[in-house]
Structure 1
Amino acid sequence: MSPKVSQEHKEQRRSNLLQAARDVFIEHGYENTTMKHVMEKAGVSRGGLYQYFENKEDLFEALIEAEQVEVIEGSVQAMLKQQGSYWDVLLMSFLGESKKATNEMDALAPSKLEYFITGRNDERKKEHARKRFAQAYQMTVNIIEEGVKAGEFSPRFDPEVMAKAIISHIDGMAMDHAILDSETIQLKEQTELLIGYLKWGLGVVE
């Protein structure tokens, strides 16, 4: 009789597989990555991988979902305690902990672009894209609305419009960055422009 595997152990295995998959997708891109690449990177058998993920699509969706959940599951109030202001919470939501404009972009951005663009006629992928947008949009709206209540923001536009503008700008830069280099699209400078626009558009009280 084989020993029972604890839930904690299963979760750790799954986490290890996702980390290996992330490295592989970054190296090869979505289209060129195979489940065999992930097996070799993670050092597991075919059964060891397929026990957790049915196929490459299932694996990639789980990977990007896990990354988004890390940000979205944290409440705005919890993030406020950590960051100190709603402005910093907003910056952290799309710039990361540094909250600074740089020439660095999400390393998975090219793979995400491949996944969603090639799946534009695939209903499952379209639904996944809609879900991701809705989650990011609602979180951003919540941050802005809480900032307004706290007296930090006096927005010139509706929070809904500001949230969509942020997402569209970030997604657009990610698309350009996947095809071109940082210097060509001036990623840092465009991000600084976005920050300045947001500060003006939100009427940030300093």
Structure 2
Amino acid sequence: MRKEAEERRNEILDVADKLFGQKGFDGTSTNEILEKVGIARGTLYYHFKSKEDIMDALIERYTVQILESAKKIAADKNVSVYERIIGVVMALNISDGNGKEVIEHMHKPQNALMHQKIQKVIVNEVPPVLTGVIREGIEQGLFHTPYPYECMEMIVAYTNTVFDDAMVNLTNDEFAGRVQALIFNVERLLGVESGSLMHMMRMFDNGKEGS
């Protein structure tokens, strides 16, 4: 049966995502993808030029998914402001499961342009999501800052750079120190008492593995 182009494309991506997670990107061949999906090589190449093209499409799909998830968490008024902030940040972590292959692929030198594209999306799209939550916190008297968006922009830009292994190589001790310094400074940016945001340390419970 002929399937709609978008449905077939997503089927290829689903299979590739699973295989990349099980066998790794380099350990998966296009033949294996063809066999699992049950399509001819020409059909695959109609949708994707190469295995690298499939991975790029997966990266783009992951980006859309995590942003949608972050927005959904931020909009849930049944959850406290603090919990929503943690939830939004955690939604950006795709280092578990199949996402590990996506991150490894993205960090390869030949994929620098794709990496830059993802960084640009995060720096531009995530601060507005967090800003809405921070403004709620200001209305509730939890935070005290005249610059909610700028605060979130600074935090996202910092975490998206310093906690990116492709940008800065940190030992476990250095990573822990950066996390403590980050929370120390976030408390000051948001105008809250020292130590009041230390419970947010659990965002980094996975250490460098989850960065």
The TM-score, its normalising length taken from structure 2, stands at 0.64
The 1:60–1:110 alpha-carbon spacing in structure 2 relative to 1, beyond 3 Å, is closer
| Residues 141, 163 of structure 1: 8 Å contact kept | yes
Aligned to 1:46: 41
Per-residue deviation at 1:134? 1.1
Distance 2:95 2:112 in 1: 23
Alignment of 1:109 onto 2:96 = no
Per-residue deviation at 1:147? 3.3
Distance 1:15 1:50 in 2: 14
| Residue number among 10, 13, 16 corresponding to 2:8 in the alignment | 13
Deviations 1:82-101 (A, max 9, x none): 6645544432333239x9xx
Output the aligned Cα RMSD.
Answer: 4.1
| Residue number among 143, 165, 181 corresponding to 2:129 in the alignment | 143
| Residues 20, 42 of structure 1: 8 Å contact kept | yes
Distance 1:204 1:135 in 2: 28
Deviations 1:41-78 (A, max 9, x none): 32322123222111111110111111111233578488
Distance 2:181 2:90 in 1: 11
Gaps (5+ residues) in structure 2? 197-211
Aligned to 1:200: 187
The 1:86–1:129 alpha-carbon spacing in structure 2 relative to 1, beyond 3 Å, is farther
Per-residue deviation at 1:132? 0.8
Alignment of 1:160 onto 2:147 = no
| Residues 80, 86 of structure 1: 8 Å contact kept | no
| Residue number among 78, 86, 91 corresponding to 2:86 in the alignment | 91
How many residue pairs were aligned? 184
Alignment of 1:30 onto 2:25 = yes
| Residues 17, 58 of structure 2: 8 Å contact kept | yes
Distance 1:47 1:82 in 2: 48
Distance 1:28 1:136 in 2: 28
Q: Judge which range, 128-137 or 73-82, deviates more.
A: 73-82
Alignment of 1:72 onto 2:67 = yes
Aligned to 1:179: none
Deviations 1:110-140 (A, max 9, x none): 4422443231xxxxx3332222111111222
Which fold has the larger relative contact order, with Cα–Cα distance below 8 Å and residues 6 or more apart in sequence?
Answer: 1
Percent of aligned pairs sharing the same letter: 19
Task: For 1:163, give the aligned amino acid.
Answer: V
Task: For 1:13, give the aligned amino acid.
Answer: R
| Residues 20, 38 of structure 1: 8 Å contact kept | yes
Gaps (5+ residues) in structure 1? 120-124, 177-183
The residue matched to 2:42 in structure 1 has which SS? Answer: helix
The 1:153–1:139 alpha-carbon spacing in structure 2 relative to 1, beyond 3 Å, is farther
